[in-house]
Structure 1
Amino acid sequence: MAEPSTRDRILEATAELYRRQGMPATGLKQISAAANAPFGSIYHHFPGGKESISVEVIRFEGIRYGEFVGAQLADTDPLGGIPQLFENAGALLESQDYAEACSIETIALEVASTNERLRIEAAGVFESWLAGLAAWFGPLGLDDDECRRLAIVTLTALEGAFVLSRTMRSTEPLVAAGHGVQAAVRAAAGRG
């Protein structure tokens, strides 16, 4: 297998640092060291510096998380499997000592009011995830508006539960959120 390019190492290192400590706490020298890349290569690959890296990290992580979650959804029944998805997310978070979560969420929280370019990029990722979730609910026979509503409920429950779980150092919020989302899905399916 080929070694990742310098550019890819910079993106991967930045994404991991953002997941662990957030964007403001991450410096370019730290990124360079974590990526095992010469400092000058950051500006070679990302002429706009930290903002340019951040845009690419949002895109890179959006695709990566989308594919990871999509694979989980492919094997899950939306009428009965949602609690297990949330419990699995909790187990993964716990195995990482609550240090890593969704870097898109972290960036969005940090820049939503201060950097329009990054806010728009993060919003685009969230919209793509919502579209995927809405499509997952589609086979339940619900209309498009109800599928989108359930997608929003699911994503906000998951992202909010990540914040609480990391803060409380407990999977309890993720477990509770999974059961709450499952109840909302069953209620919608019963109405539909």
Structure 2
Amino acid sequence: MGQPDTRTRIQNAATTLFRRNGYPGTGLKRIAAEADAPFGSIYHFFPGGKQQLAEEAIRTSGAEYGRMALAVLDSVPDPLESIVHAFEAAADSLVAADYADACPIATVALEVAGSNEALRVATAEVFEEWVGAGARWFGRWVADEQAARALAYSMIMMLEGAFVLCRSARDPEPLRVAGRSMAGLLRTALEQAEQV
């Protein structure tokens, strides 16, 4: 299989650099160098410059990450085992990436919440897509829509918080603890659903 086209290389490089270095910490020259693309090609494919490139990177990588997370969850039939497995897989991936590659949008989301409305909206929309998908996944076992949505929020919050702790400590244990904690929340929700 050949090398991806220039636009794809630019977007892939930007996604990686934004995830690792954040929005202010990522320059267009670095993106062009990482993509092995002429600098001018960034503006050819992304006339809105860095902001357009970041918006597209957030939306594309967010959707890919959401699909990947659901595939991991769906790979184990039992929901409690699936949750633990998903957080273990996240821990293993983070260690394999030497703690550099966690959530593809969290770094930018934290940086731009109060300073760049377009990027804030893009990250908010991706998070909402993840919550919706998570709520549908939990809804297979928890019929109450509010409870399923609360579980989805909890899963994302635990995952994101655990990523921060893991990266800071360079230790995968927070993700493992978060997975067991999330399984405990799901277990309680399942028990409550059985009592109804």
TM-score scaled by length of structure 1: 0.96
1:44 aligned residue: 44
- Structure 1 window deviating more from structure 2 (45-54 vs 71-80): it is 71-80
Contact 2:142-2:148 at 8 Å conserved across structures: no
Distance (whole Å) between structure 2 residues aligned to residue 113 and residue 33 of structure 1: 30
- Structure 1 window deviating more from structure 2 (25-34 vs 3-12): it is 3-12
Q: How many residues align?
A: 192
- Structure 1 window deviating more from structure 2 (12-21 vs 72-81): it is 72-81
Distance (whole Å) between structure 1 residues aligned to residue 31 and residue 72 of structure 2: 30
Distance (whole Å) between structure 2 residues aligned to residue 41 and residue 75 of structure 1: 40
Report the aligned-residue RMSD.
1.1
1:83 aligns with 2:75: no
Counterpart amino acid of residue 72 in structure 2: Q
Kindly state the Cα deviation for residue 135 of structure 1 after the two structures are TM-superposed.
Answer: 0.8
Instruction: List alignment gaps of at least 5 residues for structure 2.
Output: none
1:15 aligned residue: 15
User: What CA deviation, in whole Å up to 9, does each residue of 1:138-170 have, x standing for no partner?
Assistant: 121421111000000000000110011000100
Kindly state the Cα deviation for residue 2 of structure 1 after the two structures are TM-superposed.
Answer: 4.4
Counterpart amino acid of residue 180 in structure 2: H
Kindly state the Cα deviation for residue 24 of structure 1 after the two structures are TM-superposed.
Answer: 1.1
Please give the residue correspondences for 1:7-156 in structure 2 after superposition, counting only pairs within 5 Å.
7-76=7-76, 77-156=78-157
Counterpart amino acid of residue 163 in structure 1: V
- Structure 1 window deviating more from structure 2 (174-183 vs 1-10): it is 1-10
Counterpart amino acid of residue 172 in structure 1: E
The 4+ residue runs of structure 1 with deviation greater than 4 A are none
Kindly state the Cα deviation for residue 3 of structure 1 after the two structures are TM-superposed.
Answer: 3.1
In structure 2, the residue corresponding to 1:139 is in which secondary structure?
coil
Distance (whole Å) between structure 1 residues aligned to residue 61 and residue 142 of structure 2: 31
Contact 1:72-1:85 at 8 Å conserved across structures: yes
Counterpart amino acid of residue 89 in structure 2: N
Contact 2:142-2:189 at 8 Å conserved across structures: no
Kindly state the Cα deviation for residue 122 of structure 1 after the two structures are TM-superposed.
Answer: 0.5
Instruction: List alignment gaps of at least 5 residues for structure 1.
Output: none
Contact 1:142-1:189 at 8 Å conserved across structures: no
In structure 1, the residue corresponding to 2:100 is in which secondary structure?
coil
Identical positions, percent: 48
Contact 2:58-2:123 at 8 Å conserved across structures: yes
Counterpart amino acid of residue 16 in structure 1: T
Contact 1:93-1:99 at 8 Å conserved across structures: yes
- Structure 1 window deviating more from structure 2 (76-85 vs 162-171): it is 76-85
Distance (whole Å) between structure 1 residues aligned to residue 82 and residue 9 of structure 2: 35
1:167 aligned residue: 168
